[in-house]
Homo-oligomer: A and B are copies of this chain.
Amino acid sequence: MYKCIYERQVEKWGIFEVSVPGKTEGNPFTDYDIIAIFSGTNETKKVNGFYDGNGEYVVRFMPDFEGDYTFNISGSFSKQSYQGEFKSIKPTTDNHGYVQVSDTYHFRYADGAPYYSVGTTCYAWVHQSEERQEQTLKTLADHAFNKIRFCIFPKHYDYNYADPITFPYEGTPCDNAGLNRNTMNAYMEDKSSNHWDFTKLNPEHFHRFDTRIRQLMEMGIEADIILFHPYDRWGFDGMGAENDDRYVKYMVARYSAYRNVWWSLANEYDYVKTKTIEDWERIAAVICENDSYARLRSIHNGPHYYDFSKTWVTHCSCQGTDRYKAVEYTDELMLKYQKPVVWDEILYEGNLNLGWGNISGEELTRRFWEASMRGGYAGHGETLLQSVDDTVDQAILWWSHGGTLQGDSPERIAFLHKILSEIPGGYGLKVIPSYWDAVTATIDREEDKDKQVKDYYLFYFTFLRPLYRDLYFDDDTKFKVDLIDTWNMTIVPQGMYQGHFRIITGGNSYMAIRVQKV
């Protein structure tokens, strides 16, 4: 018989986990409930536990305060209830808590530290070999990305024909021996040779996600979990409402305690032909009802933005809908939805035979800057074939598999993140009218709104390339000016200026000027 197992101490915003024994008769995934009440001086929270296989039930909890907590676990999973107590202690330096919306359009960690989102995408990285997963984590450790989008369900698409190393449900997948680019769509249309029991989740599949999400958390990387997606040959995109809701509830019970979790209801929801808007709304309601932490929630589009004005949507998770102009709409979207705008897909740095994956590092970096300057946040992806012999069967591409990065944009994105991290007060940026060839940002801070002359200006010239820029703010204010080369990643101090002055920008693309009140 199992005992109630847990640590007696956890840091604030860490994960407190209790494992208790329970019933195994029938189907523990559907037949029983397990509910825990956590009580500390400043909060009382009810959370669901989940069945983790082998007669073991687990409850996870994130304390939002320091101090003593007690818990009580009960439910039909066991005749017995379980009680205990633990201490929530001061968080370690790198633990800033969860990310939340701040100042309408931006984000901050729970401790007030700024969070400037620079994301990346590795849809199926947790479905790859353990060795590649480790390699992915190592790559992430060497870069600045602080959010990663990935799927719980495996991916079926060009470059993604292999089965995942585990499946989320008990059963057997279709035989993929005859699968190739020409038969790919047929596999998506006829899924009848898959045999799954959607009432029985596969704990092994989720154990690995537990580890990976925790590792990301420890690395300071937000886990933007994609619950559903359209690229499927197994039927996980069309399990029906009851199975969908059970899965979502299970995901919330299992992962909502991780402070780095964001819920992405779908990748390209509008390509998921088996679900309607009503389905997405119902799924959102299941999350809202069960997630005691109210983690960030959104839903990512294909050709058409979701209605981000829905109250459950915490931020806009956008894919550009035009290959020429996308992130340039950031400020329009912000105004329209009064929420942060996160561009999770703006074409990937790559060279694929597919239009969403063949822009240059220059262009992806430019898109990151454009989005950031306008007060939004962007996401990276890499789809770089090493040679024309890299086939759709075997090529390893960061965008889906993880692994290593070869592109030019990641270090430039890190450089952008550094520039953002230097914004005074940790505020976000806000675009303001200015020279029409310079996207111009200042600090998005209420108190600055009516200031004629701001404390901080960032001018970004995008692909345009003036040889110099004449600037004037007023006669008296003294400014410190830096010339920023966003491509060559240099910041060259230009000295102090007042009144009318000229900054030699040099006539290359991708330059910026930072002007700060002394």
Chain A residues near B (Cβ < 8 Å): 322-325, 328, 347, 351-356, 358-360, 363, 385, 387-388, 435-438, 461, 463-470, 502, 504, 507, 509
Tell me if B359 and A464 are in contact (CB < 8 A). yes
Asked whether B323 lies within 8 Å of A464 as measured between CB atoms, the reply is yes
Query: Which residue in B323, B352, B356, B507 is a CB contact (below 8 Å) of A351?
Result: B507
Report the minimum CB–CB distance from A432 to chain B (whole Å).
Answer: 16
Do A465 and B359 contact each other (CB < 8 Å), given the known contacts A324-B324, A325-B324, A354-B437? yes
Residues of B within 8 A of A464 (CB): 323, 347, 355, 358-359
Return A67 CB to nearest CB of chain B, in Å.
52
Partner of A463, one of B363, B467, B509: B363
> In the docked arrangement, what's the CA distance between A484 and B463, Å?
24
Cα-based distance from A353 to B436 in the complex (angstroms):
10
**B360 to A463, Cβ gap below 8 A?**
yes
The CA-CA distance from A44 to B1 in the complex, in Å, is: 111
Is A353 a contact partner of B468 (Cβ separation < 8 A)? yes
List residues of chain B with CB within 8 A of the CB of A354. 437, 466
**Listed residue (A347, A387, A437, A469) with the most chain B CB atoms within 10 angstroms of its CB:** A437
Quick one: copies of this chain in the complex?
2
**A509 neighbours in B (Cβ, 8 Å):** 360
Asked if A463 and B359 sit within 8 Å, CB to CB, the answer is yes
Interface majority SS (helix, strand, loop, mixed), chain A? loop
Distance in Å: Cβ of A486 to nearest Cβ of chain B:
15
Contact residues in B for A463 (Cβ distance below 8 Å): 359-360, 363
Q: Is A388 in contact with B437, judged by CB distance below 8 angstroms?
A: no
- A354 to B463, alpha carbons, bound, how many Å? 14
B465→A323 contact, CB < 8 A: no
Instruction: Name the B residues within 8 Å of A385 (CB-CB).
Output: 467, 507
CA–CA, A360 to B461, complex, Å?
A: 12
Residue of B nearest to A347 (CB): B464
CA distance A141 to B323 in the complex (A): 37
Q: List 21 A-B contacts (CB under 8 A).
A: A323-B437, A323-B464, A324-B328, A325-B325, A351-B465, A351-B507, A352-B467, A353-B466, A358-B437, A358-B464, A358-B465, A358-B466, A358-B507, A359-B463, A359-B465, A360-B509, A385-B467, A387-B467, A388-B468, A388-B502, A388-B504
For A355, list chain B residues within 8 Å (CB): 435-438, 464
How far apart sit A437 and B324, CA to CA, in the bound complex (Å)?
A: 10
Specify which chain B residues have a CB less than 8 angstroms from the CB of A353 in the assembled complex.
Answer: 466-470
The interface residues of chain B lying within 8 Å CB-to-CB of A436 are: 323, 355
A86 to chain B, nearest CB (A): 54
Chain B neighbourhood of A347, CB < 8 A: 464
Contacts of A435 in B (CB 8 A): 355
**Which B residues are in CB contact (< 8 Å) with A467?**
351-353, 358, 385, 387-388
B contact residues around A469 at 8 Å (CB): 353
Chain B: which residue is nearest A390 at the CB level?
B467
Contacts A324-B324, A325-B322, A436-B323; A466 near B352 (Cβ below 8 A) = yes
Which chain B positions have C-beta within 8 A of A465? 351, 358-360
CA distance A346 to B319 in the complex (A): 27
The 5 closest A-B pairs by CB, nearest first: A355-B437, A351-B507, A351-B467, A355-B436, A325-B325
Q: How far is the CB of A487 from chain B (nearest CB, A)?
A: 13
| Inter-chain pairs besides A351-B467, A360-B463, 5 sampled, C-beta below 8 Å | A325-B325, A351-B465, A353-B466, A359-B463, A388-B502
